Amino acid sequence: MNPDVSKAADKLAKLRAQADKFTTPLAEAEAALAVAEEAEQARRTERAAEYDRAFAASWRERAQQASDADKANRERFAELLAEEPWFMAYMASRAERYKREKIMHAAQRAQSATGQNLTVPDPRMYDLRLVDDLIETTERMAAEIGADYAEELDAKRTAYIEAAD
């Protein structure tokens, strides 16, 4: 037999022997990892259920706190708006429009009651774009705050689930 072939065959035999030597420990390590991963998943599942049960038990209190905070913030909002000169000027303008609307209605009623043939136009409807802009901006900013809060809740849940006992 050629010495190169013999040498290569000997090397292959040695490597196979080494591979066989590690096959059993490798299979055992893989099995141990699978068991550990399964146990970890079971632990996480139980902690998730535990967290969810606790959250479900306390959601009413949390929702009430948010509702109470909403009411307090709305009251504070109205107070702060009343302190803003630009807002008070806008409100005065809107009040004058409402006064004009009331005058137009009273004039139509008087025209009808007296039988006079006055040509009182119907009251105009005024666009409240400023209010729409305020609402859109408020909703966008509030949604961002809500999304941040949802991320905080998810992070707390994840941290609780992943915490070691």
pLDDT in tens, 40-94: 999 999 999 999 999 999 999 999 999 999 999 999 988 998 899 988 888 888 8
pLDDT at residue 31 greater than cutoff 90: yes
User: CA 124, CA 98: separation in Å to the nearest integer?
Assistant: 10
Residues 34 and 99 reside in one and the same domain: no
Residues 36 and 100 reside in one and the same domain: no
pLDDT in tens, 106-147: 888 888 888 877 777 777 766 667 788 788 888 999 999 999
Contact 118, 104 (CB under 8 A): no
Residues 119 and 58 reside in one and the same domain: no
Residues 47 and 67 reside in one and the same domain: yes
Residue 147 lies in a domain: yes
By residue range, what is the domain housing residue 96?
84-124
Q: CB neighbours (10 Å) of residue 157?
A: 15
pTM here is 0.52
Token representation of residue 120 = 């009182």
Token representation of residue 1 = 């037999």
DSSP class of residue 121?
P
Residues 12 and 37 reside in one and the same domain: yes
Contact partners, residue 76, CB within 8 Å, separation at least 6: none
* Secondary structure string (H, E, C) spanning 138-150: HHHHHHHHHHHHH
pLDDT at residue 34 greater than cutoff 90: yes
What was the pLDDT predicted at 62? Answer: 93
Residues 21 and 55 reside in one and the same domain: yes
Place of tokens 């909002």: 77
Contact partners, residue 43, CB within 8 Å, separation at least 6: 165
Residues 115 and 132 reside in one and the same domain: no
Q: Into how many domains does the chain fold?
A: 3
DSSP codes joined into one string, 64-76: HHHHHHHHHHHHH
Residue 79 lies in a domain: no
Token representation of residue 101 = 């609307």
Residue 42 lies in a domain: yes
Residues 1 and 68 reside in one and the same domain: yes
Residues 4 and 57 reside in one and the same domain: yes
What was the pLDDT predicted at 112? Answer: 83
User: CA 80, CA 93: separation in Å to the nearest integer?
Assistant: 19
Residues 120 and 135 reside in one and the same domain: no
